[in-house]
Amino acid sequence: MRAHVRNFLTLEEYRARGDAAGCARVLAGKIIGECVPCFRVHESGDFYSEFQIDVWARVARALPEIKFWAYTRTYWLNYGPLVELPNWQHYFSIDDDNFEAVLKTRASLSYGHKIKLAEISPTGIDSAKYITRSTGFTCPAGKGQALDGVPGACLRCKLCWSGKCRKSPVFIKH
């Protein structure tokens, strides 16, 4: 069973019990066991509840030495508890279906300036519709560079999670 499926099942089990603290302890324990400097939430999936946000905020607070980051198309939830954390980087994924709503929502949030944008396009930054060369970059793992297909590409690249890059990623659609 893939990690994102296990994490989803764990979240659902603890959500049914109303136990965010217990769920956070379990997930934090799994992450500690990986011995990683960074952790991408949702390699496949999305945020779907305030409970889930609460759990991940607890996990990130419990592990301040680990950098967390996540992409989401779900822009209508309250991400304040996450984006206020110094070890969390949050991205709204944009496309033709949600671009205007995402920008409007992000502008209305007191913490909106802390949320970056990410886009998926056919060939990366050259075909991106919303993120420009001056504001974005094509994900190196998707450009066929040395990181392509190598496990841990995000760990080595660091652009999305290190906090040093001010630009938004554009992912090549595959």
22-60 confidence digits (pLDDT tens):
999 999 998 988 788 888 898 766 899 999 999 999 999
Q: What is the pLDDT of residue 144?
A: 56
Which structural domain range is residue 67 located in?
Answer: 3-172
Give the count of domains, the chain.
1
Distance from C-alpha of 149 to C-alpha of 73, rounded to nearest angstrom: 24
Q: What is the pLDDT of residue 57?
A: 98
Q: What is the pLDDT of residue 118?
A: 92
Helix boundaries (H) for 49-147: 50-62, 80-83, 99-108
Q: What is the pLDDT of residue 171?
A: 86
Among the listed residues 125, 115, 111, the one whose alpha carbon sits nearest the alpha carbon of residue 91? 115
The Cβ of residue 65 has, within 10 Å, a number of other Cβ atoms equal to: 7
Q: What is the pLDDT of residue 150?
A: 55
pTM > 0.75:
yes
Non-local (6+) Cβ contacts of 108 within 8 A are none
Q: What is the pLDDT of residue 82?
A: 97
Please list the ranges in the chain whose pLDDT falls under 70.
Answer: 1, 44-45, 142-152, 174
Distance from C-alpha of 63 to C-alpha of 81, rounded to nearest angstrom: 15
Q: Say if strands 115-121 and 136-138 run parallel, antiparallel, or are unpaired.
A: unpaired
Helix boundaries (H) for the chain: 3-17, 20-34, 50-62, 80-83, 99-108, 153-157
| 8 Å CB contact between 59 and 27 | yes
The C-alpha angle with vertex 143 and arms to 45 and 133, in degrees rounded to 5, equals: 90
Q: What is the pLDDT of residue 66?
A: 95
